[in-house]
Amino acid sequence: MKASGQQRQYLVLENYIGGKFVHCENHIDSYDPSTGEVYCRVPDSGQEEVDAAVAAAKEAFPEWSACSPQQRAQVLNKLADLIEAHLEEFAQAESRDQGKTVAFARTVDIPRSAHNFRFFASSVLHHTTDCSQMDHMGCLNYTIRCPVGVAGLISPWNLPLYLLTWKIAPAIATGNTVVAKPSEMTSVTAWMMCKLMQQAGIPPGVVNIVFGTGPKAGDALVGHPNVPLISFTGSTATAQRITERSAPYCKKLSLELGGKNPAIIFADADLDQCIETTIRSSFSNQGEICLCTSRIYVERSIYSEFLERFVAATRKWKTGAPSDPSSNNGALISKEHLEKVRSFVALAKSEGGIIHCGEGVDQLDLPQQNNSGYFMPATVISGVSDSSRVMQEEIFGPVTCVSPFDTEEEAVSKGNGVRYGLACTVWSRDVGKIHRMARRLHTGLVWTNCWLVRDLNLPFGGMKHSGVGREGGKDSYHFFTEVKTVAIKH
């Protein structure tokens, strides 16, 4: 779409290949979710651009992989310094591009992006390998780990720089070079980071970023014969396509996918702490976090009290202009996504569910310039069957459903009763019960009496349709390297 008669100036992004910004002939419109207006043009890259990026990454690999971990760590720490020095610019850009509040971007997205580089800069220095003696045969065996080559990294739109750096940092720390594709809907902060690469000391070709859609740029990347490794965060449906495209090349895959995460609240829970935390776990970042709570199961003896207090607390969770410091939530990512999330609320209502607050119940009070934005109030639903699509499918918006349960056995059954298995929260003062539940729930992460407490050393990932593989300190080190066993006869 070209600028209209009023000659609006758009921000025009370029691919970053071989240490240079490279013009692309075709572009995609990118919208400001808080106003519904186009403000940015993103390259619509395809096979040609991906081929150039892979060639640059392949050329840079021998020299970068030969650097010591200490040399690579120094570069990662410098890039973290530069992101922190420009934190406010990144936060403002992330908010405008994604719709989230500036406060969330300022306190969560951008600090964590810098921390990702710092964490892996340190982590890569402290791994050990294995050694085994076979004295009776006069042999010594040991393992070494080598970078894989060109890593293909595809990141989503909900936590754009946060999740992109979660992939780039371990990939380059371990000596790989990178071709990354951010979401075409949230590309600006990745482009801004490219401007810092040279100053950070990252050699040309070590990090290449190609912008564009999944069906064009993403497909070209995952199907490229010279990209032996793919790390992807996104939908289960896209992951299935990636698996099919990668199969002929036997690529290493790490797939972090969707969630339909339960909170299981027992009668002995600290309700004050539980309600405060479950509001955050349900609605933070507009509910657009794969770890958000979308099913809440409450022991029947406290169900009515919990529901009443939870709805009252939800009504205080303000949805408003992202720049407003008092806003808890901003806008959803797109008009299409807003319509999808609203359709689930309509489905729940048509099936006899009760909409206690939020969509269709509470009116939003938005500034005039945000009236065409993609806003939706935090919504609480009850009375929905466990078999409903509302309870089975990932909504990825500010919507959560509350249901009662009677026994621990029933709580386990309900918690496990979906195809996803990413995360869950359990609320109880009974330590034995917490340990039993943690063992029996089929999720990659179990939080008890808290949410989103993360030690980056430990594995992150899901079970069932929520993913393949794990990432985190040692797990990322293993994924982004190949292990080799060496036997020495003496």
**Residue 471 falls in the annotated catalytic set:** no
Cβ contacts of 406 within 8 Å, gap of 6 or more: 299, 300
Helices 188-200 and 69-85 pack at an angle, to 10 degrees, of: 130
Distance CA(24)–CA(344), nearest Å, equals 38
Q: Of 453, 97, 463, which Cα lies nearest the Cα of 281?
A: 453
Distance CA(361)–CA(365), nearest Å, equals 13
Distance CA(92)–CA(223), nearest Å, equals 35
**Residue 279 amino acid letter:** I
DSSP for 362-384, please give it: S-----GGGTTS-----EEEES-
**Residue 377 amino acid letter:** P
Burial class (CB in 10 A: 0-12, 13-18, 19+), 413: middle
C-alpha 418: how far from chain center: 20
Distance CA(372)–CA(376), nearest Å, equals 12
Helix (H) or strand (E) holding 486: strand 481-489
User: Strand locations in 210-358, DSSP E?
Assistant: 229-233, 252-256, 261-265, 293-299, 354-357
147-166: burial string, b at 16+ Cβ within 10 Å, e else: bbbbbbbbbbbbbbbbbbbb
Residue with tokens 């509040």: 101
Distance CA(429)–CA(463), nearest Å, equals 26
Helices (H), 160-299: 160-173, 188-200, 219-222, 236-246, 271-283
Helices 160-173 and 188-200 pack at an angle, to 10 degrees, of: 30
In angstroms, what CA-CA distances link 23 with 17, 57, 350?
10, 18, 49
Q: Which of 94, 256, 359, 394 is catalytic?
A: 256
Burial class (CB in 10 A: 0-12, 13-18, 19+), 141: middle
Distance CA(298)–CA(255), nearest Å, equals 31
User: Positive or negative, the Cα torsion across 113, 114, 118, 121?
Assistant: positive
Active centre residues (catalytic) = 256
